[in-house]
Chain A
Amino acid sequence: MSDVVEKTLTALPSLLSLDPQPGSAKLSSTSKLGNLIRGITELTSKHEEEKLIQHELASIKDQVSSPNTSMRQMKELMVRAIYCESLGYEASFTYIHAIKLAQQGTALEKRVGYLAVSLFLNESHELLLLLVNTVLKDLQSTNLIEVCMALTVVSQMFPKDMIPAILPLVEEKLNHPKEIIRRKAVLALYKFYLIAPNQVQHIHNKFRKALCDKDPGVMTASLHIYLQMIQENPEGYKDLTASFVTILKQVVGGKLPMDFNYHSVPAPWLQIQLLRILALLGKNDQSASAVMYEVLDESLRRAEMNHNITYAILYECVKCIYTIHPKSDLLEKAAKCIGNFVLSPKINLKYLGLKALTYVVQQDPRLALQHQMTIIECLDHSDLIIKRETLELLFRITNAQNVVVIVEKMLEFLRVNTDDYTTIDLVGKVAELAEKYPSDTMSTVFSVGGDMMQPDIPNSFLKLLSEGFDSVEEDRKLRLFAVDSYITLLQKEPGKLPQRFLQVISWVLGEYSHLKDELEPTVVLKLLAKLLDMKHTSSETKSWILMAMTKLCEGGAEVSVVREVSETYSSSMDTVLRQRAHELQYLSQDSELRAKVLLRDNAVQTCCVAGSQVDSSLSFLDGFVSEALAAGAAPYKPPHQRQEELAQAKALSLEPYGLSLPMSMSSCSITDRQSPTLLSMSSGLSGDSAEISHKGGSTSLKLDGVKRVWGREGYLPQRAAVEEAAQVEVPCTLRSPSQQGDPDPEKQQLASLFFGLSSQSSVCLMGKPEPTPHRFRRKAKGVTDPTSSSLISTPSNVEKLLCNNLLDSNIASELAVSSAKQITELPQGLKTASCDVEAELTDIADIKQNNPSLIVDNGIVAAADEDPDRPKDLCLISHLPAELSELCHSEITPLCTIQSLVLSACHLQKEDSLVLAVFISNSSDSALQHIVSCVSDSPAEDFRGHSVVVYQYSLTVKRPSIHVSIEGTVSFQLPGEAPQAAQFSYKLPLTIFIRPLTVSTEEYGTMWLSFSHDTKQNLTLIGDGQEALTATLNVLKQKLQLHVVEIIGQEGILSCRLLQDQPCLMHCRVHAGTLAVWLRSPVPDLPDCLIYHCQRALQEY
């Protein structure tokens, strides 16, 4: 068949220029288009073409806007407009008419209209909104072809926000009697799943129905969704493994109708899809893999025919076999298969063979050995793609013996390669190899890779050079070699070298040129000075060069060169250069100072080792900083934060005035943990951690109060300022780089700053009596090894917290967990002091002996009454501090058990917060040491036998998601044993973070207009008649704690907030027997999540 096509196609292009007749015979109706196309092919110059098209467009424009143009003519015009657009000329005036054609045309006209829309517009085009109604109408049409058209356009492009409007109709189509409709509906849902997974979360069971559809085509379509979902969460679909295996068995066994055959292979697309799914399910899972072995074997056996399609299946099969839990005889067969691929004379198969080898070679390097001759041949293949893949393969099997050859080959490739993307990738790999197996190839890498490589490559190279290897002599040799080769390079033609390389060269010469005795510093200086004079040397490079010169000048002959240079640049426009020039000037004159500042050689080494002498916290600047701040200076902000704020200031404020969050927090929110100011402030805090809270945190209060009286939102309420004063920031950042693009980073920063804050302490600062009478002495053990380690330990704890995996989706949602510990303990983790500070602490997490009388003393009998039938819960609940024990608590769920340590948790709802209580009970007789719990960095403490410790954390949602989960670790140490750790997680629905928000209708109105994120959906009403709305809203009020603002006729408005202060508004209207709900909030994803819970709440009811 394909031969025939090929022959015909080869014969025909000549006709295009010589004889247009046969082609035009086929055009009867679209003669105008035919004329246009023929006209264009006759033209010789681009200019003429442009003229013709402009003329054509003008005539189209005339006709489309004329009221007399019929839909049929419109269709014809649209086709011509598409043609003009495809030649690259804009015909945007036709877009609206394309939508009109889709709306009003019949059959083919409509089809052309839809086609034009899908070719002209993309997902975000505003005109698409006009298409929604047309799609709605066509989805409800009784004409199958119209429904098909609507489903096609929906799965091609549809505005994300409008999905809820058509979702019910598409869902309905899953039950359509025609399989073609069902299939298209499933694919449309797949598309929705890709662009807005939240929206289709509630119809997962319908996907399952599609999977069980009696038509294999519909089932195949549903596999796309499953592949996606399983990729995201393989654990959730293990139960389907056997079903997928059965399906594959039937397909391989030829049980499907002949229609599904492709070149007499049964349903190859389906087979490949299933193999990919099985690979995901069987990965790292022995029992799931065991189910698959038989069918995989069968697949390998059946796919014997010599055709591309069988190779496609074989390749997927091999990939699957190597991904799942290994089975030796299958691996053997798969290896043979790969061998056939690699040895095949067909270049496509060879390529795939190499790719498969790359994939498996880490598990089985012998396989590469078997084919080494072929691989070597491929290295010199004329096709760059083959070469590239071979290099990739070699990269994976590099060892100390072959590294030189492989790197040489890679560099060879780099020299001829022109594609930037590949260059960057490959340079990275060469650099990685060069670091792993040190050799002298880096010069070539730098000159070949040029300025395109990642900036960390030269850095790590320099680090490698300075830190050296095992033997001193080798280091010396390597450095000498570097100096030698760089001098030669500079003497030749330095103008061609990339900037990055010049920087590396100048650093190396500055550091190590003294190693070469016969080399005069003047020579080096002159070479460097020559570099400075070159036109295209960037100012960054220049400052590197100046620094190198500073290291080199030792007085004597070189002074004249230096003086000249420093004079030139000390008046430079560039401040950095000017500074370097001044440094050079001073240091070249004062040799004593120079010796002190610039340590040489071994001294450098010791300096590196004794890095601890460097006060990275810059604490010596503390005094200066606080003075400046007291004088009204603005606190330091890292550049990225400044930029963000700048960007935000430019945008319109969409936040409501009334609900300003504690904005003044951001004034001292230093989120970058590398920031020196941050460290210095916190070290200042930790120095006298015990007193600071009692002093009322005077310094920090001043900062906050002074600086941010007027925020972006206007005047900040005084109340907030007082509270913030207590909420001295904890030096940890919850921001991850990926979050930078979030629409409301400031808010997230804020949320992150709540980390480790204690509601208790703020109460305390505001002058209320201390709530807990239990006092005990405790040693602040801190960290036993001095200095820097403590600086590292805190962030690592924080990162643990950041790893909150979400349940069934990968929407990143993070919890800012604020520890309910006393503020006095917070800086402890950061504390640099090594001594054991004795501190008298008031702790709400009190340790008690298992002493029943205490329970009575604390007056928690009330709690006991609540749960008479759960003695264990009761027992744990009794350990809650008094002010919490009266709150309504959830069931206590066990988290994990390690040895005698049992962890369990429950959550308690407070009006303004959600408290998570974690119980740690030790049932053994022996005392435990160093219990470090949990979600946040609670301090280590000793823990006696048979006792219970309660930790409480107040939780805040940073980014809404349907469910949130908290992950944490507990680590402890038994006396005389190694430390142990266990991880646990705790899952919560979003609803428990929802609180009613009391606003008036007017306030509601202003807020509504200012919120940017919204979602709409139809929900089912409860009951019917006049009272249906009230009844439904009451259910929502009870179940989700929403506040009903007002109900007028068939409309109602509700409001709520997500802890702490993230509002969400809801507008409901009874329409055609359903409740049309519209949610708005300034927080992304909050409306989507809330609508889900509303739906659930009504369903459960």
Chain B
Amino acid sequence: MQFMLLFSRQGKLRLQKWYVPLSDKERKKISRDLVQTILARKPKMCSFLEWRDLKIVYKRYASLYFCCAVEDQDNELITLEIIHRYVELLDKYFGSVCELDIIFNFEKAYFILDEFLLGGEAQETSKKNVLKAIEQADLLQEVSMLSSIDGFSWLF
């Protein structure tokens, strides 16, 4: 996978993850172009797009569009399922996720994505395992917070 974008129906970018080195300018241009193209498409249209030499796979969940760019020989359907699994993960983590969760806790959304995809490839497809890894890290945070606040660091 080359990159993943999340944007709202209003065209606001909510999340972006780039797996190929591109300059800031290129990134901005690409996301602007893609957001425009995808928002212009009708709901019953195909989820795949040819864009330059890439294949764009996108899906809309409520007010959010999830969009991935893969190479031409990659499997479009499985990319669609990657998007779906990511939505499932977000849903499970936030407990029926909504756009607001992603706006206000975008860093969490990034952590989940990083645990699910690494370097553009699916690394862990089990919902249970991804969330376990995230929760462990969260737990660690609380522990360290506790210890730094209450001066109980000797306990840990």
Q: Are A8 and B98 in contact (CB-based, < 8 A)?
A: yes
> Which residue of B has the minimal Cβ distance to A20?
B100
Tell me the A residues contacting B by CB distance below 8 Å.
1-2, 4-6, 8-13, 15-16, 22-24, 26-27, 30, 33-34, 37, 72, 79, 82-83, 86, 88, 106-108, 111-112, 115, 119, 122-124, 143, 145, 148, 152, 155-157, 180, 183-184, 187-188, 190-191, 217, 221, 224, 259-260, 262, 267-269, 272, 308-309, 311-312, 315-316, 347-348, 350-352, 382-383, 385-386, 388, 421-422
A107 and B141 in contact (CB under 8 A), knowing A156-B119, A187-B123? yes
Taking A119-B110, A267-B125, A348-B76 as known contacts, 5 extra A-B pairs with beta carbons closer than 8 A to each other, sorted by chain A number, are A37-B104, A86-B16, A111-B141, A123-B21, A309-B78
How many whole Å from A1060's CB to the nearest CB in chain B? Answer: 35
Partner of A187, one of B44, B85, B97, B119: B119
Q: Is the CB of A268 within 8 A of B121?
A: no
Q: Given A224-B121, A347-B45 in contact, is the A9-B13 Cβ separation under 8 Å?
A: no
Q: Do residues B85 and A262 form an inter-chain contact, with CB atoms below 8 A?
A: yes
Which chain A positions have C-beta within 8 A of B125? Answer: 260, 262, 267, 269
The interface bits of chain B over 108-137 (1 if a CB of A lies within 8 angstroms of the residue's CB, else 0) are: 001100100011011111101100010011
CB distance from B48 to the nearest CB of A (A): 6
In whole Å, how far is A946's beta carbon from the nearest beta carbon of chain B? 54
Chain A at the B interface: SS class: helix
Q: Give A155 to B120 CA distance when docked, in angstroms.
A: 9
Complex Cα distance, B13 from A312, in Å, reads 29
Interface string of B67-100 (1 = CB under 8 A from A): 0000000011110110011011001001011111
Assess A33 versus B16: contact at CB under 8 Å? Given A5-B96, A352-B77.
no
B103 touches A37 (CB 8 A): yes
Contacts of B49 in A (CB 8 A): 385
Which partner residue on chain B sits nearest A29 by CB separation?
Answer: B145
B133 surroundings in chain A (CB, below 8 A): 148, 180
B121 and A309: CB pair below 8 A? no
Contacts of A269 in B (CB 8 A): 78, 122, 125
B window 14-56: CB within 8 A of A: 14, 16, 18-19, 21-24, 28, 42, 44-53
A2 partner residues in chain B, CB cutoff 8 A = 84, 87-88
Task: Name the distance in Å between B65's Cβ and chain A's nearest Cβ.
Answer: 11
The one of B62, B94, B143 in contact with A6, judged by C-beta atoms closer than 8 angstroms, is B62
Smallest distance from the beta carbon of A623 to chain B beta carbons, Å?
Answer: 51
Inter-chain CA distance A262–B122, complex, in Å, is 13
Once the chains bind, are A9 and B140 in contact (CB under 8 Å)?
no
Residue of A nearest to B121 (CB): A224
In the complex, what residues of A have CB within 8 A of residue B141's CB? Answer: 107-108, 111
Report whether B62 and A9 are in contact in the complex, using a CB–CB cutoff of 8 Å. yes
A386 to B122, CA, bound (A): 28
* A935 CB, nearest partner CB in chain B, Å: 35
A26 and B64 contacting across the interface, CB-CB below 8 Å: no
Residues of B within 8 A of A10 (CB): 62-63
What are 8 pairs between A and B in contact, CB < 8 Å? A1-B88, A5-B61, A27-B105, A86-B106, A108-B138, A143-B140, A180-B129, A347-B45
Q: How far is the CB of B124 from chain A (nearest CB, A)?
A: 7
Does A309 contact B99, Cβ atoms closer than 8 Å? no
Contact indicator A86/B13 (Cβ below 8 Å): yes
Instruction: Determine if A115 and B110 form an interchain contact, defined as CB atoms under 8 angstroms apart.
Output: yes
Residue of B at shortest CB range from A155?
B119
Quick one: closest A residue to B72, CB to CB? A355
CB proximity of A15 to chain B, nearest CB, Å = 7
**CB-defined contacts of B103 to chain A, threshold 8 Å:** 23, 37
Contact of B87 among A5, A23, A311 (CB under 8 A): A5
B46 adjacent to A348 (CB under 8 Å): yes
Instruction: Check B62–A191 contact: CB distance below 8 A.
Output: no
Which residues of the other chain, A, contact B126 by a CB distance below 8 angstroms?
A: 259-260
Inter-chain CA distance A10–B119, complex, in Å, is 31
Within 8 Å CB of B144, what residues of A?
106-108
Across the interface, name the chain A residue whose C-beta is closest to B147. Answer: A106
Give bound CA distance, A347 to B42, whole Å: 12
Chain B residues with CB under 8 Å of A13's CB are 8-9, 62-63, 98-99
Q: Which of B14, B53, B78 has the most C-beta atoms of chain A within 10 angstroms of its own C-beta? A: B78
Closest to B21 in A: A123
- The reply to whether B119 and A190 form a contact with Cβ atoms under 8 Å apart is yes
CB distance from A803 to the nearest CB of B (A): 25
